[in-house]
Structure 1
Amino acid sequence: MLNRAIDQFGLRVRTMNEVEDSHSSSSTVYKCNLYTGENVYLKIPFTTLKFQRELEAYKILKGSVSTPDMLDYWTGDEECTGVFLLSELKGEPLTSKSTPSIAYQIGVLHAEMHAIQPPPEQKLTGIKNEFWQWSSFIEQQFLNFAEDVRGVIDEQLYKRAIDKFEVMKQQLPSPDGPSFIHMDFRPANIIVDHDNVSGVIDFESVRFGSTEIDFTKLYRDYLSYDDRLYHAYQEGYTSVRPLINLENVLPFYRFTDAFNSIGWCKRRGIEKNALFLAENMERLKKYLQ
């Protein structure tokens, strides 16, 4: 499949390495160094739906949000879900050791994405607009993972989690949107080049919906480590669009993220994801105290 994609795009590849990303959506991504000296990426999404989402996302975001350039794509066949040929964003994935200036730029980037609404002139087949059934969408996600979680955690803990979900869901404010939401906006998908944010990658899980869900992983893996970063991010975001009161929604989404992540570990292999599972077990127990 990989060789067919290389032939499809007419690439002259000197070296090639698979890109590892824990807790990803299971796409296969290869970094290719061409004989021209240029680096490009080949991305093979996990499913045809994820391919279609990403294809539509690149078209929607172009000119509004900094992303890799989609140089070409192949829609695949009965043996392949499709392949993207993408340019390289200069830099490395974001770390918690960044500066408030970087956090400010991430806030701007995130808000620019959230400012995008469903395009009235474009019919979408991959990216769904979940905004008008937001409560049902959140509940469906939670209950889908609950089937996997049940076999991993103690039954009493499981029942308490189900009860807590029902109570907290009723306390959520009105949804904010409809906005383009990344659904996996975390450091591994944000590329930073020294003092500048180069852009954001990975659009397989995107939707149109409420912005409230999209702060969860960024807070978990980045903003919660330093109040200066948190405040700088908020300043950057509000320079583009109003920011909802995160304290009103983060407790609910941090709780559901921990619960859903346990289910994700069950689906993708408990042994392979033992550390991530342990982290989320601790988070879940903490939220249920």
Structure 2
Amino acid sequence: MLNRVIQQFELNVLSINEVEDSHSSTVYKCHLLNGENVFLKMPYTKLKCQRELEAYEIIKDRVSIPKMLDYWSGDEECPGAFLLSELKGQPLTNKALPTVAFQVGILHASMHQIQPPTTLQLTGIQNEFPNWSNFVERQFYSFAEDVKEVLDESLYKQSIEKFENMKLQLPPSDGPSFIHMDFRPANIIVAGDKVTGMIDFESVRFGSTEIDFTKLYRDFLSFDISLYQSYQEGYNTIRPLIDFEVVLPFYQFTDAFNSIGWCKRRGIEKNASFLEKNFSILKKMLL
């Protein structure tokens, strides 16, 4: 399949490396004979392909993202493929300076400023905002079928009860906004002390911003109060940040629960450390 995609894009490749930490698509970094680096991305499904394709159209020139150099719509065997330019730098880490966290806040808020287009017909990216509560519930109970096979009965019942109780306490939703749904350090690229952009749009929606802070908090903001404060300051320069401490416990809980279901779907042994991490979060929040 990789060779077919390379031929499709007529690339003269010197070397290829598969990119780790890509969960909804297969991604390769290609070093070309002319010295350039490009990325080949093959989402797992046609829907993820269509979302990514529409996302590039919606957010190009509005936030910093790779350039889409070419696109192949695929065939019966391949859902489709993207040829993308390289964003210079490395994925964000929690060792970053507060000045970088400030820029992450600006990037995130700039994305959240984007509202559903009125002139573009979308078939992949859904506007979930009008029925946001139903969307969150639908996701939760979809993964619940898988979680049920992993958790013991008592813990599973506790989880369902907690979800229903916490859901009732949520404030009004903030949106509709373009939400990444996987806004985490691996998808934020940094070169030195400068944020160069973000990647991966196969899970995007229009919806409430409140869901989009959880993974960033889990993997970055929670490590240092100065990062947390600088991020908020950066975000607030573009748009008002919701009091996400009010909604964060609910989304931390649902993210941990859904992630356990995700691990069951994708293979428990292969994702053992991620499963354990989310199992620990879930138990802590249930106690």
TM norm structure 1 = 0.98
Shift of 1:253: 0.2
Kindly provide the CA deviation profile for residues 64-119 of structure 1, in whole angstroms up to 9, marking residues without a partner as x. 01000000100011111000000000000000000000000000000000000000
Q: Does 1:262 align with 2:260?
A: yes
In the alignment, structure 1 segments of 5+ residues that lack a partner are none
Q: Does 1:14 align with 2:26?
A: no
Q: Take 2:174 and 2:38, find their aligned partners in 1: how far apart are those partners?
A: 36
Q: Secondary structure at the match of 2:137?
A: helix
In the other structure, the counterpart of 1:232 is: 230
Query: Are the counterparts in 2 of residues 270 and 277 from structure 1 also a CA contact under 8 Å?
Result: yes
Q: Distance in 2 between matches of 1:279 and 1:42?
A: 30
Residue 176 of structure 1 is matched in structure 2 by: 174
Contact (CA 8 Å) 1:25, 1:46: kept in 2 or not?
no
% same residue: 70
Deviations 1:160-180 (A, max 9, x none): 100000010011111100000
**TM-score using structure 2 length:** 0.99
In 2, the alpha carbon distance for the partners of 1:63 and 1:280 equals: 36
- Map of 2:164 onto structure 1: 166
Deviations 1:28-48 (A, max 9, x none): 101000000000000000000
Correspondences of 1:30-49 after superposition (within 5 Å): 30-49=28-47
SS in 2 for 1:85: strand
Does structure 2 conserve the Cα–Cα contact (< 8 Å) formed by 1:186 and 1:221?
A: yes
Secondary structure of the residue aligned to 2:157 is helix
Aligned to 2:77: 79
Aligned partners of 1:68, 1:279: CA distance in 2, in Å?
31
- Residues 126-137 of structure 1 correspond to what in structure 2 (within 5 A)? 126-137=124-135
> Secondary structure of the equivalent of 2:175?
coil
1:159 Cα shift?
0.3
- Residue aligning to 1:120: 118
SS at match of 1:252: helix
CA contact (8 A) 1:15 1:34 kept: yes
**Amino acid of the structure 1 residue aligned with 2:188:** I
- Give structure 1 regions of 4+ aligned residues with deviation exceeding 2 angstroms: none
Q: Distance in 2 between matches of 1:94 and 1:247?
A: 22
Q: 1:131 & 1:236 partners in 2: Cα distance?
A: 25
Tell me, yes or no, if the aligned pair for 2:92 and 2:189 is still in contact at 8 Å.
Answer: yes
User: In 2, distance between residues paired with 1:200 and 1:26?
Assistant: 16
Q: CA RMSD in A?
A: 0.6
1:25 Cα offset (Å)? 3.1
How far has the Cα of 1:7 moved from its partner? 1.5
- Structure 2: give runs of 5+ residues left out of the alignment: none
Distance 2:75 2:270 in 1: 30
For 2:121, what is the secondary structure of its paired residue? coil
Distance 2:123 2:216 in 1: 28
